[in-house]
Structure 1
Amino acid sequence: MESAREAARGYWNRRAEGYDAAMDRMEGLLFGDARRRLCGNARGRTLEVAVGTGRSLGLYPEDTELTGVDLSPGMLDRARARAARLGVQADLREGDAQDLPFPDASFDTVVCALSLCSVQDVEQAVAEMRRVLRPGGRMLLLDHVRPTFWPLLWLMTGVQFLLDRLEPEAGEQMLGRPLPVVREQGLTVEHTVRAKGGLMEMVTARRP
């Protein structure tokens, strides 16, 4: 576990410099304004898990009290620079999605956008997000998932094959789907949206 965590940290540190340029192209093509719509639903004390370079920082409601965690110091450096440019107040700190450094029931909203796909243990990460949510709090997720459109599924299966061999330290999963895990963790799913041949999914769930 620790060796995988360190490998992932090193990988994302190396990716930090060029990450935004690559994501600008991918998000525009595949996700449109989904990140904006997701973050606009946050309320109160909000935690963004795997905040990365801070691509969501300017998208939250103004009264949001924002905290962000990421495994990669390199990513966090860019997130802090972005927050300063935008004039956004956010507590940005190093942390692992699978072992969040917060007490139980600390947040009104927990957000994870385009990041669970690269977490080694999705079940543990969702369990941790549930743990730090207060009762009645909301979990907001956006990710690429296993497509339902067969030609796209074949393509993503091929991409997964290549990633597993060329960039195994990234832990990128092109064929997963967090929604069943959210249900298994006992959260109440309030709303889901799936688009782009099933490749994109947005989930809103509430902790009972």
Structure 2
Amino acid sequence: MTKLLQEIQTYWTNRAEGYSQVNQGELHSEQKHKWQQTLLQYIPFKANKNIKILDIGTGPGFFAIILAQLGFDITAIDYTEQMLLEAKQNAGKLSEQIDFQQMDAQNLNFPDKKFDVIVTRNLTWNLENPQQAYSEWYRVLKKDGVLLNFDANWYNHLFDEQKRQAYEEDRKIVAKAHIDDHYTCTDIDAMENIARQVPLSGINRPDWDREILTKIGFTTINIIPDIWQQVWSDEEKLNYASTPMFLIKAIK
């Protein structure tokens, strides 16, 4: 394990309980239904137990749980043991239907062409070697399999003054609205230290992703830049106005 990977694991271990509470809120609100409808919109298969979905970076299990509820065969992985413990607890009886495994997103212990769909949320930016991760994800997808990657340029503001100003404006608006600030509620110093080291924080995305996915061999790549409008709550829209979430849909 590299020093950076150790830092990332330690951060998310410490963050697991708080992040789990966020996921629990999503599971008991309209956010669950928004995400389910969005995933069904972009998954080109009917929900049934024959469709194998891999949830990479499952965290406290949000995607795994809502997809299992729809009837899919779910395998969910995370590098952090504490996240998986939270995920199993959040899944309740559904944990018997979900195959939770501790695994590195960049080095998958699965055979080639095992899954019909891969889903992931807010993970790629946080990886030490995202290009290697994408290669691995391509490897384990079946022919015509689909990757759905929801992400954003979360920490571009550490490298761009104009984006820094937009980020600071978000913080002012959030404070004025008297809602929780999703950045300052975390260990912001530790997260920014990691963000300065991982390669994607200062890169223009999703242009980078499109280029790399094409080189790896994905045949069709679609970018949905305004997916945040479908899935974010009003509170998220205020918190992250300067970092809109995009969706990358890639077909093998």
Which TM-score applies when normalising by structure 1?
0.78
Match of 1:53 among 48, 53, 60: 60
Consecutive unaligned residues in structure 1, runs of 5 or more:
none
AA of the residue aligned to 1:59: I
AA of the residue aligned to 1:105: K
Q: Find the aligned partners of 1:90 and 1:128 in 2 and give their Cα distance.
A: 21
User: In percent, how many aligned pairs have the same letter?
Assistant: 23
Residues 80 and 147 of structure 1: is their aligned pair in 2 closer, same or farther, counting only changes over 3 Å?
closer
Match of 1:145 among 141, 149, 153: 153
Which position in structure 2 is the counterpart of 1:62?
A: 70
Match of 2:131 among 123, 127, 136: 123
**1:74 counterpart = 2:82:** yes
Residues 136 and 5 of structure 1: is their aligned pair in 2 closer, same or farther, counting only changes over 3 Å?
same
Q: Find the aligned partners of 2:124 and 2:189 in 1 and give their Cα distance.
A: 20
Residues 152 and 83 of structure 1: is their aligned pair in 2 closer, same or farther, counting only changes over 3 Å?
farther
Alpha-carbon distance, 1:19 to partner: 1.2
**1:189 counterpart = 2:197:** no
Which position in structure 2 is the counterpart of 1:154?
A: 164
Consecutive unaligned residues in structure 2, runs of 5 or more:
46-50, 172-186, 227-240
AA of the residue aligned to 2:58: V
Q: Find the aligned partners of 1:201 and 1:6 in 2 and give their Cα distance.
A: 28
Which TM-score applies when normalising by structure 2?
0.65
AA of the residue aligned to 1:112: T
Q: CA RMSD in A?
A: 3.6
Q: Find the aligned partners of 1:54 and 1:142 in 2 and give their Cα distance.
A: 15
- What is the aligned length? 200
Which position in structure 2 is the counterpart of 1:111?
A: 119
AA of the residue aligned to 2:132: Q
Q: Find the aligned partners of 1:132 and 1:154 in 2 and give their Cα distance.
A: 38
